[in-house]
A and B are shown apart, each in its own frame.
Chain A
Amino acid sequence: MIKATPKPLEEIIDYVKDFSNILIVGCDGCVTVCEAGGMKEAKILGSALRLYYTQAGKDHEVIETTVTRQCDKEYLAGIKDLVENADAVISLACGCGIQYLTEMYYHKIVFPGVNTHFMGINAERGRYEERCAGCGQCILASTGGICPIARCSKRMLNGPCGGSDNGKCEVNKDIPCAWHLIYERLEILGQLNRLEEPVSAKDWRTSRDGGPRVIIRDDLRKD
């Protein structure tokens, strides 16, 4: 799922200090799982903002709500009245949800309430780890199921580099060397010979380098 973290309260206060009717819109999807933007976080932020306005002696109204997913317009349509009545909206969805809400309510000021980081897994509560960079051309079949694009600091396809040290990345000792992990896995799979075959340059057009990516599935689309 997508992983995000709440923005610092000071930053959000700075966005909304000149408004008085605020709608906070959480999302029941990814950001609820990583505890950055669900109903719980919306209520915490709402309380903090009300406290701020009260201490500042400002009239205010802060409303919290969530939708099932902010990346679906059908759900966003359901909060039309709440959005219309607010001076400004804080979206706690990932960057996709924030932008989709903005597209739907084009004349409304919408602020981001979280920082969106990556696609990752839930290693444990409060620890999320990136696993996939969404390159659009999955190579896991040839790397023992460990992605060097997401997990090698130099996104090398022919690692490990000369900085791999006792299983750790040269960048810092808290980062496992992806190619060390790949080596261990290839050994178990009996595929170590892969390490002697050069992997040629990747076509990055399906990655971050061809503009915003679009998937069109004709098999799913109505004629």
Chain B
Amino acid sequence: MSVKTPSTLEKILASGQQAVTSEIGPPRSTDGAEIEHKANLIKDYVDAINVTDNQTSVVRLCSLAACIRLKQMGLEPVMQMTTRDRNRIAIQSDILGAASFGINNILCLTGDHQIFGDHAASANVFDLDSVQLLETVRLMRDEGKLMSGFDLPSRPNMFVGAAENPFAGPNVLVRAMRLAKKIKAGAEFIQTQCIYNIPKFKEWLKIAVDKGLTQKVHILAGITPFKSLGMARYMKSRVPGMDVPDNLIERLKGVPKEKQAEEGIRLAIEMMQELKGLNGVKGFHIMAIEWEEKVPELVKGAGLYPRPTA
């Protein structure tokens, strides 16, 4: 896969090296310093930093502003963008704005339904979905056009990504077909949902390999360390599309409460080591939810430190 954009993430992936990305959730405030603080915790251990877009439909400082801040720190942001809150006018407008600050990576998402957040009474938009957002970014980048057909005098130069959840319904085959669809729509890299059920992930990956999809897209395996038994139970029972096998719950149960966080980190490192060598896995996306300080430990533990220079 040849390099098409100035994205550092793209260059590292194209060079055949394992990539590591992580993410920052912006604050529920105007505090830009918090973004800098979180970024400083992880910046030397990752190739790019995702910024979430009002994740779980909770209002936060916007992804675009946080990405600009990261860019100004000399870092490599991945702007997450959901279609829940913006129509195609606002979406294309934000992409142009992000591009004007040299933001070179975008992750195209549909987004969680607003019922989960702090504004359940809001009217959602869903003018587009994630697949159509992928098509939109590729149209803007590769053909220099807006959806209206308007010719852009300058193009957003973004490396285009999407998420995929191998564990959601109906089954791994459909999830692999959806991966194929996202690739057709323009996805160049994929960050998966948090992986806990490794056998099921391998099933999904095998279908992707057999379909030739892993030749066309860089898959980054999603990793979220458990902070506690409570968190693992919550993920298992309360987060739709999340697959946490019972043996992991048992494993966390088997250690005293004050040791559970440590065990969660150990477990995440073991999983990374197992996934690292798999055909079709090109790196990791570490989602240490409000636990960014643990990212260095995970990256080192998985033998992925130091990070390459693109």
Contact = CB atoms under 8 A, between A and B. Distances in A.
Given A158-B131, A162-B165, A170 B240 contact: yes
Interface string A128-155: 0000000000000000000000000111
Given A156-B110, A161-B110, A177-B169, A201 B174 contact: no
A37 to B, nearest CB: 27
A185 to B, nearest CB: 11
Interface string A163-193: 1111111111000010010011000000010
Given A177-B169, A195-B181, A162 B193 contact: yes
A169 B110 CA distance: 14
A180 B169 CA distance: 7
Contact of B174 (A166, A170, A195, A197): A195
Nearest to B193: A162
A12 B110 CA distance: 41
A198 interface: yes
A55 interface: no
A204 interface: yes
Contacts of A164: 168-170, 240-241
A158 B183 CA distance: 13
A157 B136 CA distance: 15
A200 B184 CA distance: 12
Given A183-B170, A198-B184, A154 B126 contact: yes
A85 to B, nearest CB: 41
Interface in B147-184: 147, 163-165, 168-170, 174, 177-178, 180-181, 184
B23 to A, nearest CB: 15
A79 interface: no
A163 B112 contact: yes
Contact of B169 (A156, A160, A200): A160
A156 B185 CA distance: 15
Contacts of A172: 115
B88 interface: yes
A169 to B, nearest CB: 8
Contacts of B147: 201
A200 B240 CA distance: 26
B184 A196 contact: yes
Interface residues on B, range: 35 or more
Interface in B75-124: 84, 88, 110-113, 115-116, 124
Interface band, chain A:
20 to 34
B177 A170 contact: no
Identify which of A153, A165, A167 gathers the most chain B CB atoms within 10 Å of its CB.
A165
Contacts of A162: 163-165, 168, 193, 241
Contacts of A198: 131-132, 134-135, 181, 184-185
B224 interface: no
Contacts of A195: 174, 177-178, 181
A204 B174 CA distance: 27
A137 to B, nearest CB: 14
Contacts of B164: 162
Q: Which of A162, A172, A196 has the most chain B CB within a 10 Å cutoff? A: A162
Most chain B beta-carbon neighbours within 10 Å: one of A158, A167, A177, A197: A158
Contacts of B113: 153-154, 163, 170-171
Contacts of B170: 160, 164, 167, 180, 183-184
Which of B130, B163, B181, B240 is packed against the most chain A CB atoms within 10 Å?
Answer: B240
A192 B124 CA distance: 29
B129 interface: yes
Contact of A192 (B88, B110, B169, B177): B177
Contact of B181 (A158, A161, A167, A177): A158
Contacts of B165: 162
3 nearest A-B pairs in the assembled complex, by CB-CB distance: A162-B165, A158-B131, A170-B240
21 contacts: A154-B124, A158-B185, A159-B129, A160-B174, A161-B168, A163-B168, A164-B240, A165-B168, A165-B240, A168-B169, A169-B240, A170-B112, A170-B240, A170-B241, A171-B115, A196-B177, A196-B180, A197-B184, A201-B88, A201-B128, A201-B147
